[in-house]
Chain A
Amino acid sequence: MSLAWKVTVTVVLFAVCAAAGVILIVALLGTPPTVDYTAQSPGGAVNVALQTVGTYGSGSHASWVSYLVRSPQGQWVHTTNFQVPAHTRINVTIYQYDSGSPLRNQQTGLVTGTYGNAALLNGKTFQVINSNAGNGVAHTFSIPSLGINVPLYANNGNANLCGAAPCTLKSPHNIIRFSFTSPGSGNYRWQCFVPCGLGFLFGNGGPMSTLGYMGGFMKVVA
């Protein structure tokens, strides 16, 4: 076998091994599941339910803050991916179980992109939250490309807050409701704009940078 052949074979084998390694790592890391709401109420509004918890409470990142999504069957799923039909009214209910703080940027204290640029906090309409007063803001639900931003009012940090997901209504909570119309098909990134990744640079690492915790995708299908 000539030197050229040896080099070629070595390079090809290395490339194959490297590709296999990458595929294996990606497969092991996995991606959070997607909760599918498209079968719900065909032609009508779709009801999406989320919850936020201060600490997930189990698994490899038990201390991380996280969102969860409730499936149409009523089960809480540890994911941040959900799928909705296009051009449909989306009614979102968020059960907020976490404490809060003043916002790094109060601009995200404003409700935008929802019907009437407003939301309901425990049944009362609001358009802005002063994060420097009261319990502050725990998290936001924001889809930047759609201009949607909803601040989630926090619970009192001294209360006996839920420490493990999924939380139930027995724990201190706030219920935030809002609606918007889904756009055309595509993947729309959403995230929390409160730097709640404690212990990470500027609070935006860890759960803020990991799918399945504080950001994900709203998949819109025709």
Chain B
Amino acid sequence: MRWLYGLLPGPPAVRVALIVLIGLVVLVLLGLLFEWAGQFLDTGGTVALISFRT
């Protein structure tokens, strides 16, 4: 976190705001990644001609 704070430009308030923004983006990306990877655990069990993992 300190490393990232040091890399960011601008006054402290801007840096903190940027860190919060980056954190939110990372959380959203992680959520999307987990949802995608979750398809390997459980798709919902439906059957279809075109199916995930086939």
Partners in one complex: no
